[in-house]
Amino acid sequence: MANLGNPQNTIDVIQKHGFRFQKKFGQNFLIDTHVLDKIVAAAGVTKDDMVLEIGPGIGTMTQYLAESAREVVAVEIDKNLIPILEETLSAYDNVTILNEDILKVDIAKLAEEKNGGKPIKVVANLPYYITTPIIMGLFESGVPLDNITIMVQKEVADRMQEGPGTKDYGALSLAVQYYAKPEIVANVPPNCFIPRPNVGSAVIRLTRYPEPPVKVDDEKKMFALIRASFNQRRKTLVNGLSNAPEVKATKDDVLNALGKMGLSETIRGEALTLEQFAELSNLL
């Protein structure tokens, strides 16, 4: 079976099938064996594991995962890639290919059927526009997860591990850090892909916390607060929250809560830590 981490083999497969890249799916295929090895190592894939791969493309990483895992379920939205995957993965009897939109797949049911409800590992090479909904969907759905190891745009990876006071810090940083420990394991330049993207990428591993690092009475309320405070970054927290219909708090409520926390009335959302958002949410 031709190793697709080799650029020439990837080009051959694409040409043989007359495959056309679709901009709407943000398709960039990885052609660097070092990066592939790093991803599988970072995810800690062993023969005990079921791996869910999102966006297998032509099966490059799927081949690597199939060598290391007990079972791989690869979910690909582009129906034009299915015949290619059936060919490139024909040597493996531990791979299931699903032609579905990952946002509509019942992943918890999949984990139950294929892994007896034990935590699964998720590996993906995600296009920019869908990174956040997929990651948040995985965390919020309560699917049993060990870790998510994903290739994303470098700037998005940075954002996931930023702390308060930086321009990249925002709702995504806080959401990821509530559910998981983020760690960038590799930076990946554009020349590692066909076609070459315009920006650098990074592999980031999100290791799921058994328990969130902060105690919050109502998760949904806290995330509504967080979103409202970053929707208008230039506004003070008091103005941002008291104008947000989903928060249901008056200016006085917010001022009282900030007073109890010993925070300034003019503080902005980007200055608060996850702990402080949890405390504010509990107070409100």
Strand, helix or coil for residue 100:
coil
Q: Supply the pLDDT for residue 1.
A: 61
Q: Which of 190, 187, 192, 191 is nearest to 203 (CA)?
A: 187
Q: How far apart are CA 78 and CA 85, in angstroms?
A: 11
Check if 7-208 and 219-283 are the same fold: no
Q: What is the CATH architecture assignment of 219-283?
A: Orthogonal Bundle (1.10)
Q: Supply the pLDDT for residue 263.
A: 96
Residue recorded with tokens 């791996």? 51
Q: Which two tokens stand for residue 27?
A: 């398709």
Domain boundaries, the chain: 7-208, 219-283
**From start to end of 168-240, where are the E strands?**
180-188, 193-194, 201-208
Q: Angle at Cα 183 formed by Cα 182 and Cα 187, nearest 5°?
A: 130
Q: Supply the pLDDT for residue 49.
A: 97
84 sits in which H/E element: helix 82-88
Strand, helix or coil for residue 120:
strand
- CATH of 7-208, picked from 3.40.190.10, 3.40.50.150, 3.90.1150.10, 3.40.50.2300, is 3.40.50.150
Q: How far apart are CA 197 and CA 125, in angstroms?
A: 13
Strand, helix or coil for residue 53:
strand
pLDDT along the chain (284 residues), means of 10: 79 83 76 93 96 94 96 95 95 97 93 94 87 90 94 93 89 94 96 90 96 94 92 87 89 95 94 96 94
What 39-44 contacts at long range (C-beta under 8 Å, 24+ apart), as own/partner pairs, is 39/64, 39/123, 39/149, 39/151, 39/185, 39/186, 39/203, 40/64, 40/65, 40/68, 40/123, 42/149, 42/185, 42/186, 42/203, 42/205, 43/121, 43/123, 43/147, 43/149, 43/205, 44/121, 44/146, 44/147
Amino acid letter, residue 48: D
